[in-house]
A and B are shown apart, each in its own frame.
Chain A
Amino acid sequence: MRTRRMRVPPLVGGVLLLIASIPPTLGAQGGRISYEAFALPNGLRVLYSEDHSTPIVSVDVWYNAGSRNERPGRSGFAHLFEHMMFEGSAHVKKGEHFQLISRAGGSENGSTAEDRTNYHETVPSNRLNLALWLEADRMRALAITDENFHNQRETVKEERRLRIDNPPYAAAFVDGMTWPFDSVGCFAYAHTVIGSMDDLNAAQLADVQAFFDTYYAPNNATLVVVGDFRALELRRLVNQYFSDIPRHADPPPVACAVRFSPGLMRREVTDQHANLPAVVRIYRVPSHADPDTPALELLNIILGQGESSRLNVAIVRREKAAVGAQVAMNPFDSRRGPGVLLALAIANQGIDVARLDTLLAAQLDTVRAAGVTADELTKAKNTFRANFIHNRETTLGRAEELHHYDMFHASVGELNTDLDRYMGLTADDVRRVAAKYLDPANALVVIVKPPKAGSAQ
């Protein structure tokens, strides 16, 4: 029912870029979001943005907890916990959360990433009170029962089978993201969000209760409300519903030091569901707040986004070596700690996977040495700007943007200035980060092989 934000980008075939030049189009920028902030004595921070253009409102709570907060032997907990949040609370019966929102005409969802867990509702503006009340009730007193726990643990295991274990390449992609991090120095990112089956099986009800007590506290959450409401009414409701939820002890901080390994690392895995071999090249990249991030984002678009991307044009169309090729950076969400940039290509039939990797590496080496063209830079900026604006078209999209800047940037105010940083980048900036991060010494190469036999029927 709830789709997690675990996007493994689909591979798409493409069209060769033939057009000679694209006009630069960086005039009006758009996407500006005005907002206010306040905090309750119990530590709950609130950001809000009024917009009366459509009579709807989005309520979006981010807990400052994700898989990065998990301990060894307890992976998958943040996500399992997210499921528990829909199983009822002190005044909401099992299944009632969904029913109440549906009968209001609203929509709701939640998702878990490395650094955060989110829960949100979009409702007609006359049901703002309902959405806030539901979030307050489960922040205050979740129904943590044995029955709910066992039931949801099975659901999560099923989700793991469905999303990770069953589709081809998903396991290599998701597991591969964790391999650049050694679990001693940085367990935070050295295990997957979905967690291991063994850890899920070992999970105990008491662990769930402890997780709730540690992380699901007003002083570890941020509430964002965007849409058609009056600030005074919002403050009144937030006070009434949230102010008496007790503050908990602050959760322990998570340390995560990343070390670049001395040389190129290679791993080979067998994927039972793959018919064709694949290559995933994984590069460590810095935290989202690092000044190199914008140039890395544009590099990501130039290399691997869309039909006119370098990998598609060179490897899929020209060499016919891959059925698809893409690049992604931190595919679940941004991170406060170090992250990954992944280049993925699935080999065409009859193409040796070593040759595919050579072609992939050659493309990355070329961009390190020769940089990007002016047209590529313009396309990347246009694409980034269009995505940036489309993300802000809906109340929920704006709520997520407020959270993103609040959590991953030095100040939430960068919300309205960040695009300028991207638009100001030069081809040299992109080339510099390519040279720095696409260094072979910074690469972990994962070769995915199908099971040895091709069974024809």
Chain B
Amino acid sequence: MSRRLLVAAALLSVVPSFPRLSAQGFPTTPPKPTRLAPARFPPFKEATLPNGLQLVVVEQHEQPVVSVSLAFRAGETYDPAGKEGLAELTAELLSKGTESRTADQIAATIEGVGGSLSASAGPDFLTISVDALSDQAELVFALLGDVTLHSTFPEGELALARTRALSALALQLSQPGTVAQRFFSSEVYGRNPYGRSATRESYQAVTRDDVIQFARVRLRPSGALLVVAGDVTDAQARELATKAFADWHGAAPANPALPTPPAHPATSILLVHRPGSAQANIALGNTTIAPTDPIYYSGRVATQVLGGGADARLFLILREQKSWTYGAYASLHRYRGLGYWEATAEVRTDVADSALAELLRQVERIRTDAIPDSELVAAKGFLVGSFPLTIETASQIAGQVANAKLLGLGDDYLRLYRERLSAVTALQARAAAARLYRARALTIVVVGDGAKLYDRLKALAPVRVVDVDGKPLTPADLTPPAAPVALDPRQFVPHTDSSRVLLQGNPAGFTVSEVRRSGDSLAYAERSNLAGGVFQQQTTVLLNPTDGSVQQVDQETTQQGQKAETHLTYRGGRVKGSSASPQQDGSVKRFDIDTTLPPGTMDENAVPFLVPALPLASGKSFTLTFFTPSENAIKTLTFKVTGPASITVPAGSFQAYQIDVTGSRLPFTMYVSTDSLRKVVKTEFVGQPFVVELVK
């Protein structure tokens, strides 16, 4: 070996022991963290006013802003059974009128000074928040006092708030992820109020008296928490609070003990049958701990490693490695009572069993295997590092203080939060996972197409099946009935109905439907005209006069002067012909159709004919197969019947069943009269501005 090579070898062996620097001094690897500055959570002062109101003041004079929140133990858990949604509606109405200000005046007053006021209800608490510049502190307290003490809860505002809540609910229920969460809560918590969710019926059951009573009983000074943060002094905040709430009295409301959530002896699956769902939404988990349990910190770290984000195991395995899902996460939730943890993923139906098995494997793995240092460091780095980013502004600080106080997390919680997370070891995190994740007693909810999922899932754990309303189904119910539902031939009598189409409440066109009989032929015809003839459609469906099955469909659509025709024949379990339908972009989508159909398949154009002829009764549900010519697709539609209730349209007032239809491109609701000759009185489309109403 030459001398030069020796020198080179010596150099090579030495270089790695120095920090590697480029020639100019730029490090070639990321610099190491410097010493972590001690957490300096802003100090705060506490006081209890004579009326029992608890006051916390966080002085922060960096910017001339003030953020005030007033929280009550008046969250959704205090909704009486059957009136879920009461706390939420009460919160919304607080800023919608007082004895001295209308809703408009409240908005204009706070907006005039560049501030904001809002109220909302969570599971445990109802919170009113006001933000403004600190020179408006007096106005902030005056408004807060006014909406807290003198709200009038006008009937008209309740009706508006309820309408908004109902349309938000309808939209949520069309989203499988929300459906999964609702079932997961009720499975995990049972009769415990944390398990309940608002429904259409419960929103409708809430009266103005309920709201007034709820506010009177639950919104009391004693037991409430007022947090003032920002550019105010402690003395000033006390004075303003005392003045705003001087005439307010009342003992703390009763806080009845909550029922114990049900014991889950073994892991089981609740399969929520959503016919035609393209994906399976999985949620699994169990109840965990009271908010003050010190195992929280280790549990938080373990949950971060398992599924805290795009850098955690569930995401990296289920998405990055397997491409089964867009995202998979785990989270630990604290309530004032017993909290819960859950893992969630939205996966393709055909890999639902593999994905669930992998989720269970990962839960088991984090409970039993040592967590490698690299993962522990990454998880703690995120948790510890991100905390100070959440306490920058006065309103963020107020939020953190309120959370700690309301959950009873102790006076040193915020001060020691980072240190306690930093101190968690790999062994502690694993032990916490073993205790918190009850691997052998998990509640699993899967929302998806039961017909495709049932057999896949039952290999993993015992499966119960329900429909999206929670009604138990047997595995036999999952496959659409082999024979069509018998239609009532008494409805096949000739008649004509005229309806108007409303767009955002304004007339936009009409539709005329007609049932014709001549000799032994039965036909359903429909003629629509929208936007002054810009859209026109005529449909004729020939039907078997005995059982109402479809024989032939002819449809002509004219849109923007462009014409498209559909002609189909249904025979011997097949549909043949061609379809054409104009699209929004001006093009026409065409299909040559020759498709085998399941027995009993109807044409989707016949829905308005068919629904009145179903054996309608409240609480019944029908699942039927349809062919949709415009998409060349076979769909399973579910018709769910409730009511009857009174409904008024231009043609008059009717007792009508409400029929919620899912599985079509847009979910919709039909109202069908209970007369001996039933009529479609009204049709609404979820999330769309269209309504069709019977005129005569």
Contacts and interface: CB of A to CB of B under 8 A. Distances in A.
Interface string A2-39: 00000000000001111100100101111100000000
Nearest to A53: B62
B102 to A, nearest CB: 6
B565 interface: no
Contact of B689 (A28, A98, A275, A350): A275
Interface stretch (A154-162, A215-223, A381-389): A381-389
A398 B504 CA distance: 44
| Interface footprint category on B | 35 or more
Contacts of B386: 105-107, 124
| Interface footprint category on A | 35 or more
Given A19-B105, A308-B108, A394-B393, A452 B30 contact: no
A102 B377 CA distance: 12
A133 B30 contact: yes
A378 interface: yes
Contact of B36 (A103, A106, A124, A243): A124
Q: Considering the complex of A and B, which 10 residue pairs feature the smallest CB-CB distances, nearest first?
A: A105-B385, A386-B114, A30-B64, A244-B24, A453-B559, A105-B386, A22-B112, A349-B506, A452-B560, A129-B31
Nearest to A317: B104
Contacts of A306: 111
Contacts of A241: 26-27
A456 to B, nearest CB: 5
Contacts of B508: 349-350, 454, 456
Contacts of B582: 453, 455
B109 interface: yes
B111 A126 contact: no
Interface of B: 24-40, 60, 62-65, 102-105, 107-109, 111-115, 132-136, 231, 309-311, 377-378, 381-389, 391-394, 501, 503-509, 511, 528, 530-531, 534-535, 559-561, 582, 584-586, 666, 685, 689-690, 692
B33 A390 contact: no
Contacts of B531: 452-454
A395 B392 contact: yes
A309 B383 CA distance: 43
B559 A105 contact: no
Interface string A50-67: 010111100000000000
A386 B66 CA distance: 11
Contact of B108 (A17, A124, A134, A390): A17
A91 to B, nearest CB: 5
Nearest to B113: A382
A407 interface: no
B135 A27 contact: yes
A389 B63 contact: yes
A18 B108 contact: yes
A30 B133 CA distance: 10
Interface string A81-111: 0000000000110000011101111110000
Interface in A227-278: 228, 240-241, 243-244, 272-273, 275
B583 to A, nearest CB: 9
Contact of A55 (B39, B501, B506): B39
A395 to B, nearest CB: 7
A451 B64 contact: no
Contact of B388 (A54, A140, A272, A383): A54
15 contacts: A22-B109, A30-B231, A55-B388, A103-B381, A124-B37, A126-B35, A241-B27, A243-B24, A349-B508, A375-B112, A382-B113, A382-B114, A452-B560, A453-B560, A453-B582
B559 A102 contact: no
B31 A455 contact: no
B682 to A, nearest CB: 14
B108 A383 contact: no
A105 B135 contact: no
A19 B311 CA distance: 52
A246 to B, nearest CB: 10
Among B107, B389, B586, chain A packs the most CB atoms within 10 A around the CB of B389
Contact of B382 (A30, A102, A308): A102
A266 B383 CA distance: 55
Contacts of B505: 349
Nearest to B102: A18
A453 B536 CA distance: 9
Nearest to B374: A103
A126 B418 CA distance: 14
A364 interface: no
B26 A136 contact: yes
A339 B554 CA distance: 55
Interface string A39-55: 00000000000010111
B392 A394 contact: yes
Contacts of A91: 28-30
